[in-house]
Structure 1
Amino acid sequence: MTDASDEDIRHSEKKKRIQAARQKIMAGKTGGEKGLIIVHTGKGKGKSSSGFGMILRAIGHGMPCAVVQFIKGGWETGEARVLRDHFAKECQIHVMGEGFTWDTQDRQRDIAAASAAWEKAKELIRDPAMRLVLLDEINIALRYDYLDVDAVVEFLLTEKPPMTHVILTGRNAKDELIEAADLVTEMTEVKHPFKSQGIIAQAGVEF
């Protein structure tokens, strides 16, 4: 067996220092567990996909879940199909929106649809048996003031059960929501096939 090289020794010592620092940080964390308010926003892809991924992760841990879709596009997503066909007992899905704002071209109709979706969302979040609720594309409804962001934030901070996680997705998350959230991730677009090559949305990638 050959002796460790200087490079190997330096690598080992570096990892030991990182491990010690990590252990010191974790020793000071005494907050325990809590239900989180999670925001996925930004111009890049992956906001809803990440939310659905967390739904599947929660199902794997035996946690009851629900999805409320505030915006319904022109196609059914693969994620919704899988959950509906294979995990209907573990996860409720409520498609409440009628389409993108440029499709409906009717503000009052969009406000009514968003309000109905929010009422369903509140019902699900209030249920203490529900462990994770995904509010897909709610940020669009908030961006166009179809819903009052202050009312949404107040509800999440005062009525959400302590151990319920809520995920809110969509571009242009409002500052009030970001301030109230426990975890915020911004998806950044670096390159997109539609812009660079004119490639349209494809099954299995975009929906």
Structure 2
Amino acid sequence: MDDAQLREQRHAARMARKKAHIDARIAEADLDTGVMLLLTGNGKGKSSSAFGMVARAIGHGMKVGVVQFIKSRTDTGEEAFLGRHCEWHVMGDGFTWDTQNREGDTRKAEEAWAVARRMLGDPSYALVVLDELTYCLSYGYLDRQQVIADLDGRPEMQHVVVTGRAAIPELHEIADTVSLIENEKHAFQSGIRAQQGLEW
């Protein structure tokens, strides 16, 4: 047996062991339930990831609701496309450094949470995305205990995705899956402004 054949044999043996391990883990995971995902961190791609799940759920014929906190743009590509296939609410006045109005931001957050609560209480929604919710909690615009209770009390099979930076510890605790999106490099740091189709 030459070196190439030996490498191939070792690789096949390694992959067979890996497959057996993964298959065993998959077999152990036999619970069907709603999942809460938290996408946080300073990197780009949190909302984009959530909207990818929106597209996936719509593709399976599932009912989806999206509530965007903080954000105010209604000309985004994701809303233009996905908003035709699900319930979509843009409910902010813009980022807090633009508004500079705590009272107004709090009011908008409370209005958005009323819509979110309706969705979280309705088992017909298979997926609810709460985009940029984390800011409303870390800035104190919403009551933390109420939000956590509403997320915890949602219908058993309902999936929820929460996005935004600086997620409070309570969100980390109740989430089933937490992805921390870090920023290694960003075009903006090189003076490149936000690009249509990438950022909005």
TM normalised by structure 2 equals 0.94
User: For 1:124, which of 113, 119, 140 is the aligned residue?
Assistant: 119
Equivalences for residues 70-149 of structure 1 within 5 A: 70-74=69-73, 76-84=75-83, 86-87=84-85, 91-149=86-144
User: For 1:201, which of 189, 194, 199 is the aligned residue?
Assistant: 194
Question: Percent identity over the alignment?
Answer: 46
Instruction: Tell me if the contact between 2:70 and 2:105 (Cα under 8 Å) persists in the aligned partners.
Output: no
**Alignment gaps of 5+ in structure 2:** none
Deviation at 1:26, TM superposition (A): 2.4
Instruction: Tell me if the contact between 2:73 and 2:90 (Cα under 8 Å) persists in the aligned partners.
Output: no
C-alpha deviations, 1:72-95, integer Å up to 9, x for none? 2456211011123x42xxx10111
Instruction: Tell me if the contact between 1:149 and 1:177 (Cα under 8 Å) persists in the aligned partners.
Output: no
| Aligned equivalent of 2:151 | 156
Q: CA–CA distance in 2 between the matches of 1:92 and 1:34? A: 22
**Alignment gaps of 5+ in structure 1:** none
Q: CA–CA distance in 1 between the matches of 2:111 and 2:186? A: 33
Q: CA–CA distance in 2 between the matches of 1:106 and 1:25? A: 50
User: For 2:174, which of 151, 169, 180 is the aligned residue?
Assistant: 180
Single out whichever of 118-127 and 68-77 deviates more from structure 2: 68-77
Deviation at 1:99, TM superposition (A): 1.1
Amino acid in the other structure paired with 1:38:
L
Instruction: Tell me if the contact between 1:40 and 1:167 (Cα under 8 Å) persists in the aligned partners.
Output: yes
Q: CA–CA distance in 1 between the matches of 2:17 and 2:91? A: 51
Instruction: Tell me if the contact between 1:150 and 1:176 (Cα under 8 Å) persists in the aligned partners.
Output: no
Cα RMSD (Å) of the superposition? 1.5
Determine whether 1:56 maps to 2:48: no
C-alpha deviations, 1:21-57, integer Å up to 9, x for none? 1222223223x21111111100000000111110000
Q: CA–CA distance in 2 between the matches of 1:26 and 1:49? A: 27
Instruction: Tell me if the contact between 2:62 and 2:125 (Cα under 8 Å) persists in the aligned partners.
Output: yes
Deviation at 1:190, TM superposition (A): 0.5
Amino acid in the other structure paired with 1:170:
G
Length, aligned pairs only:
198
User: For 2:183, which of 189, 192, 195 is the aligned residue?
Assistant: 189
Query: What is the SS of the residue equivalent to 1:5?
Result: helix
Deviation at 1:153, TM superposition (A): 1.0
Instruction: Tell me if the contact between 1:64 and 1:130 (Cα under 8 Å) persists in the aligned partners.
Output: yes
C-alpha deviations, 1:134-169, integer Å up to 9, x for none? 1111111111110122221111112x0001111110
Q: CA–CA distance in 1 between the matches of 2:18 and 2:53? A: 29
Q: CA–CA distance in 2 between the matches of 1:81 and 1:162? A: 30
TM normalised by structure 1 equals 0.91
Amino acid in the other structure paired with 1:198:
G
